Amino acid sequence: MDFVSIRVITGDIARLVGFYERATGLTASWSTEDFAELRTASATLAIGSTRTVPMFAPGAARAEANRSVILEFRVEDVDGVHQNLIGSGLVDECVQPPTTMPWGNRSLLVRDPDGSLVNFFTPVTEAAAARLAR
């Protein structure tokens, strides 16, 4: 089995896609006006509008309700991502500025425009890099 993607449901797909494009430097691939994907080598972040929910099961997902999942992106320069996002108008809350964690990652924790936690991190020790080697 392979983990392929995570899908986020939003009431404002253009705003949320814009945030993730700016934060990651990736360009979203739009299938329809209600569905876009940002693909990396290891996984895909799918973003769907609330209009897609009834296709699965009405009321099964609710936008802006996540309080248990942290989306994580490995980036080359956490401090650069921080500078890029702060003041962009796309980040309502910087939960934790760039900080070197005890397990060897430099990490930035923000909330995306829908309130979901997003961790951008860079391994800064050999042990952290080794744990993430593929």
**CATH number for 95:** 3.10.180.10
> Which residues form the domain of 63?
5-132
pLDDT at site 93: 82
pTM: 0.90
Helix (H/G/I), strand (E/B), else coil: 20: helix
User: How confident is residue 98, by pLDDT bands cut at 50, 70 and 90?
Assistant: very high
* 3-class SS of residue 91: coil
- Give the CA angle between residues 85, 70, 91 to the nearest 5°: 20
Q: How many CB atoms lie within 10 A of CB 2?
A: 5
Strand-pair category, 105-111 with 93-100: antiparallel
The pLDDT score that the predictor gives to residue 15 is 95
Number of structural domains (the chain) is 1
Which secondary structure element, helix H or strand E, spans residue 97, and what is its range? strand 93-100
